[in-house]
Amino acid sequence: MRKKNLSTIFKLALFFFIPLVYSQTPTIGLRYYDNAVSDGYTLFTPEVNQKVYLVNNCGEKINEWTFTELPGATCYLLENGTLLRAGKDLLEIRDWDNNVLWNYEMTLNGYNQHHDIEPLPNGNILCVLTDSYSSAEMIASGKDPLTVGLTMKLDKIIELKPIGTNDAEVVWEWKFMDHFIQDFDNTKLNYGNIIDHPELIDINYVDADVPNQSTDYTHVNAIDYHATLDQIMISARHLNEIYIIDHSTTTIEASGHTGGNSNLGGDILWRWGNPRVYKQGDITDQKLFLQHDSKWVESGYLDEGKITVFNNGGDGTNTFSSVHLIVPEIINNTYTKETSKFKPINFEWSWNGSIMGNTVKEVKKSGCHSLPNGNVIICETSLGQISEITKTGDVLWTYRNPTGQNISNQFDDLILYFNSIFRGEKYPPNYIGFTGKDVTPKGIIENENSISNNCNILSTIETAFETLKITNPVRHGILKFNKKVTFESIVIMDINGKQVYKTTHFSDDALNLNLKPGFYFIKLAKSGYFKTEKIIFN
The pLDDT tens digits of the residues spanning 167-214 come to 999 999 999 999 999 999 999 999 999 999 999 999 999 999 998 999
Rounded to whole angstroms, how far apart are CA atoms 85 and 67? Answer: 9
**pLDDT at residue 457, rounded to an integer:** 66
**Domain 461-537 of CATH type 2.60.40.3080:** yes
DSSP for residue 280: -
**pLDDT at residue 487, rounded to an integer:** 86
**pLDDT at residue 42, rounded to an integer:** 98
Stretches in the chain below the pLDDT threshold 50: 1-23, 406-417
**pLDDT at residue 193, rounded to an integer:** 98
Rg (CA), the chain: 28
**pLDDT at residue 322, rounded to an integer:** 98
What is the arrangement of strands in the sheet containing 307-311, beginning at the earlier edge strand?
A: 292-296, 307-311, 322-326, 349-351
Provide the residue ranges of all domains of the chain, joining segments of one domain with +: 1-80+371-437, 461-537
Length of the chain: 538
* DSSP calls for 210-249: STTTTTBSS-EEEEEEETTTTEEEEEEGGGTEEEEEESSS
Amino acid at 316: G
CB contact at 8 A, 325 and 347 = yes
Amino acid at 491: V
**pLDDT at residue 533, rounded to an integer:** 87
Burial of 306 (0-12, 13-18, 19+ CB in 10 A): middle
**pLDDT at residue 368, rounded to an integer:** 98
Run of H or E residues at 300: none
Amino acid at 454: N
| Nearest residue to 294 (alpha-carbon basis) of 279, 274, 276, 277 | 274
Rounded to whole angstroms, how far apart are CA atoms 509 and 483? Answer: 5
Rounded to whole angstroms, how far apart are CA atoms 442 and 26? Answer: 20
CB contact at 8 A, 241 and 272 = yes
**pLDDT at residue 12, rounded to an integer:** 34
